[in-house]
Chain A
């Protein structure tokens, strides 16, 4: 399955069905982060139900040092 994650086109495993699977595939499940799928924020409660499809645009953001 092809996804665009953080502006980068990439191929992910086809068994990834939802946001939770996607985060787990990058070992990000325990990190403080926020996911945006096709321009819409996905709340944590929706991680296991929000399905991922070929061609989706995903943003995975977090807090970094800043003023």
Chain B
């Protein structure tokens, strides 16, 4: 069971809702993923086309917890503004703090992320900051009181998987709050690895939305996260340099 703030979840997969080929495929992918937390962005509405379909408005909101992000923000001030707008919908009190510091890599600005998180905690939000794999920053965010840490596996949408497993393992090891690997995941193997390392969950979007078959990939990710988590709980064997026979060495016919 995943516990974030005062909420508990059966699923450890957090799913993004951007970039799906169609609304129908997206609905199926979300359903198959069994994700309970869905991320959204806050944007200006096209007020001249009120008939435009909107995914969120077609969701059974009693079944999902919304995790809006502050994507688009480059400063703490902008992130706080977006977070407050999201909360004013009355639909959510969780916020993914995302303050981008570099347009090319979309890596987060650590200073502004820290500032925004501090303000939003004081405002009573459930705060989940998206961070790089910086171990010290993760510690400082935890000390501030954030409700989960969300280190990126690799740059957003890059599909490169976990490029710094060592740092990620340090972050997981030191954390007393949930660690959710966010961004950069490309394949089910990446999810399984993150979970085997002891992550509490995985947040992904492009890896499902951009797959050839998003619905099938949603299921693959769900299964990988479950498998990885079970593997972590079961405790893997240590790696050995040489072989160790699985069959008994006694009673062999050839000796």
Q: Which residues of A contact B (CB under 8 A)?
A: 5-7, 26-28, 31-34, 36, 41, 43-44, 59-67
With A and B bound together, what is the CA distance between A27 and B49 in angstroms?
9
Instruction: Please give the number of chain B residues whose Cβ is less than 8 angstroms from any Cβ of chain A in the complex.
Output: 38
* Partner among B19, B39, B50, B91 whose Cβ is within 8 Å of the Cβ of A28: B50
Report the bound CA distance from A67 to B181 in whole Å: 13
Per-residue A-contact encoding for B40-75, CB less than 8 Å = 1, 0 else: 111111011010001111000000001011010000
Q: Which residue of the partner chain, among A32, A41, A67, contacts B54 with CB atoms under 8 Å?
A: A32
Q: B residues within 8 A CB of A27?
A: 50
B205 at the binding interface (Cβ < 8 Å): yes
Name the distance in Å between B213's Cβ and chain A's nearest Cβ.
18
Give the residue name and chain of the A residue nearest to B90 (CB): A44
Contacts of B40 in A (CB 8 A): 63-66
Stretch touching chain A among B80-88, B117-125, B223-231, B241-249: B80-88
Q: For residue A10, give the distance in angstroms from its CB to the closest CB of chain B.
A: 9
Q: Is B183 an interface residue (CB 8 A)?
A: yes
Q: Is the CB of B47 within 8 A of A34?
A: no
B→A interface (CB under 8 Å): 16-20, 26, 39-45, 47-48, 50, 54-57, 66, 68-69, 71, 84-86, 88-91, 156-157, 183, 203-206
Do the beta carbons of B56 and A67 come within 8 Å of each other? no
Select which of B39, B88, B90 is within 8 A of A66 by beta carbon. B39
Chain A residues whose C-beta falls within 8 Å of the C-beta of B44 in the assembled complex? 6-7, 59-61
Known contacts A5-B47, A7-B44, A32-B91; A64/B71 CB under 8 A? no
- Which residues of the other chain, B, contact A33 by a CB distance below 8 angstroms? 45, 89
B54 to chain A: which residues have CB within 8 Å? 31-32, 62-64
Say whether A66 contacts B17, CB under 8 Å.
yes
- Alpha-carbon separation in the docked complex, A9 to B56 (Å): 28
Most chain B CB atoms below 10 A, which of A5, A31, A59, A62 = A62
- Of A28, A43, A44, A61, the most chain B CB neighbours within 10 A belong to A61
